[in-house]
Amino acid sequence: MPDNNKVNRRGFLRTAAGAAAGAMAIPYIVPSSVFGADGGVAPSNRLHVGVIGVGGQGTWDMRGFLDKSEALVVAVCDIDVKRQKAAKAEADLKYGNNDCKTYLDFRDVIGRSDIDIIATAIPDHWHSIPAIMAAEAGKDIHGQKPLARTIKEGRAICDAVKRYGRIWQTGSWQRSVANFRRACELVRNGRIGKVHTVEVGLPTGSTRGNESIKPVPEGVDWDMWLGPAPWVPFRGVLHWDWRWIMDYSGGQMTDWAGHHIDIAHWALDLEHTGPVEIEGHGTYPKDGIFNVPYEYKVTTKYANGMTMIIANDRQLPHGMGTCWYGDMGWLHVTRDEPIHANPKSVVDEVIGPNEIHLYESKDHHQNFLDCVKSRRETITPAEVAHRSLTPALLGEIAMLTGRKLKWDPEKEVIVGDDEANRMLSRPMRSPWHLYM
């Protein structure tokens, strides 16, 4: 049974008030490393970064900022004290001081008026609330993919980022890798003709048996970890393995949507729309603590008649990655491999200056920092992340209902299916709600 007195109400209010009342830290001084030649950045001009969630991905992001001379990681936050300490030690070692502060409650980090940037790498069910709070507090945000756990939460993040004029970058770093951009430019410029089908191969999931109820590990705030998700007792799933439980994630399909579906959309100029029809089938664990499908195949249709198939890699001829099929050939791109195409000569085609050239970023974290200073849109803004994730979240609903869905990408509603529409959002456990 849940203990509903555990939420720290005092902290809740203190930080909510403190965040918006604080001075807004837009970086007015544009260091020469951004636009100029010298590269040196005075400490007073550094962008202060608070990292919320310092597990594997969050630590990777933190290192991305530690490596940049214009960023200064001043705060790390995690519901696991061990992880806080490890992240602090790494930041302090880098800077040769003891200045990085640790926090258990993300609201205390957002409440700091000296912080310019909030970087979040937390379980998916937690993505929306801190992001919206950070936007309201005037922070720029680097948020990990997938953008949110539900379509309505994703839309709320986009709206808040736009409303408060914030810079947002999603951790869809593949866009900052030359190979992926090049593949997208080749497809966008018609080198394989008119695309009729795109296959998106994502990892296969996994299963696990039932788990006994266990004591919460020392130094872990379990109630805070659950946050807006329904209460359940601790069963040993804390870091990473939450990925396979539906309350917190949609599994590999929603996790990787921000990579390979994102790339598929980028090449086809579909970044601001979505499919109009979705159907799918998933193989769900027959028992055990994990409950997201480990095998899945979702077929979507777009208004232009194109088909996108999203499936775990074992069900697609090219496996992982994105493969576009056009009326003049096909082209496949994935990580750590050269671009493959038919005809082969497509790979060496030059894109001329009068053709379409896509947004270029050579370093994902640097692109974010540059945009924080220039106030330009990043290579992976919130709206794009929202649209990259939508086909996967709709696929999840199609698999759960077992029905073919019709989607209105403009209004963002499922047409004529009341039950399916209910799954566009999730009720949040009290006292959490989107606009804290």
List binders of another protein among 351-370 (CB under 8 A): 351-354, 357
The interface with another protein within residues 387-406 (CB under 8 A) comprises 401-402
CB-count exposure of residue 1 (10 Å: 0-12, 13-18, 19+): exposed
- In three-state secondary structure terms, 239 is coil
Count CA atoms within 13 Å of residue 226 on its CB side.
19
Q: Which lies closer to another protein via its Cβ, residue 48 or residue 145? A: 48
Contact, 230 vs 125, CB < 8 A?
no
| CA 82 – CA 370 distance, rounded (Å) | 32
- For tokens 């640790």, the residue is 102
Contacts of 16 (CB under 8 A, 6+ apart): 107, 111, 133, 436
CB under 8 A: which stretch of 69-77, 213-221, 321-329, 331-339 binds another protein? 213-221
Query: Out of 4, 42, 178, 415, which residue is the one contacting another protein (CB under 8 A)?
Result: 4
Q: What is the residue type of 239?
A: H
Q: Does 93 bind another protein (CB under 8 A)?
A: no
> Token pair for residue 205?
């999931």
| CA 94 – CA 111 distance, rounded (Å) | 25
Q: Does 8 bind another protein (CB under 8 A)?
A: no
- Residue 267: CB minimum distance to another protein, A: 20
Q: Does 60 bind another protein (CB under 8 A)?
A: no
| CA 256 – CA 389 distance, rounded (Å) | 9
Query: Out of 163, 194, 362, 404, which residue is the one contacting another protein (CB under 8 A)?
Result: 163
CA dihedral (208, 199, 394, 106) in degrees, to 10, reads: 60
Q: Does 98 bind another protein (CB under 8 A)?
A: no
Rounded to 5°, the CA angle 234-237-242 comes to 120
| CA 54 – CA 370 distance, rounded (Å) | 23
Q: Count of residues binding another protein (CB under 8 A)?
A: 80
Q: Does 408 bind another protein (CB under 8 A)?
A: no
| CA 409 – CA 412 distance, rounded (Å) | 5
CB under 8 A: which stretch of 95-103, 186-194, 273-281, 350-358 binds another protein? 350-358
> Token pair for residue 347?
């790979």
Query: Out of 44, 97, 336, 350, which residue is the one contacting another protein (CB under 8 A)?
Result: 350
Q: Mask of contacts with another protein, 130-149, x by CB under 8 A?
A: ------xxx-----------
CB under 8 A: which stretch of 77-85, 140-148, 279-287, 308-316 binds another protein? 279-287
| CA 77 – CA 130 distance, rounded (Å) | 12
- Residue 94: CB minimum distance to another protein, A: 26
Q: Does 165 bind another protein (CB under 8 A)?
A: yes
Whose CA is closest to 125, among 273, 261, 277, 232? 232
Q: Does 416 bind another protein (CB under 8 A)?
A: no
- Residue 106: CB minimum distance to another protein, A: 16
- Residue 282: CB minimum distance to another protein, A: 13
Q: Does 374 bind another protein (CB under 8 A)?
A: yes
CB under 8 A: which stretch of 178-186, 256-264, 274-282, 415-423 binds another protein? 415-423
CA distances from 254 to 234, 388, 395 (A): 24, 9, 9
Contact, 211 vs 235, CB < 8 A?
yes
The interface with another protein within residues 25-44 (CB under 8 A) comprises 26, 28-32, 34-38
CB under 8 A: which stretch of 80-88, 116-124, 142-150, 346-354 binds another protein? 346-354
Q: Does 218 bind another protein (CB under 8 A)?
A: no
> Token pair for residue 2?
């849940």
The interface with another protein within residues 302-331 (CB under 8 A) comprises none
Reported in sequence order, the residue ranges of 55-138 that DSSP labels E, i.e. its strands, are 71-77, 101-103, 117-120
Query: Out of 57, 291, 315, 342, which residue is the one contacting another protein (CB under 8 A)?
Result: 291
Contact, 43 vs 31, CB < 8 A?
no
Q: Does 82 bind another protein (CB under 8 A)?
A: no
Q: Residue 195: enclosing H or E segment and its boundaries?
A: strand 195-202
- Residue 350: CB minimum distance to another protein, A: 4
Q: Does 283 bind another protein (CB under 8 A)?
A: no
| CA 343 – CA 192 distance, rounded (Å) | 8
Q: Mask of contacts with another protein, 171-210, x by CB under 8 A?
A: ---------------------------------------x
The interface with another protein within residues 226-245 (CB under 8 A) comprises 230-233, 235
CB under 8 A: which stretch of 2-10, 51-59, 275-283, 361-369 binds another protein? 2-10
Whose CA is closest to 161, among 378, 427, 391, 367? 378
- Residue 118: CB minimum distance to another protein, A: 13
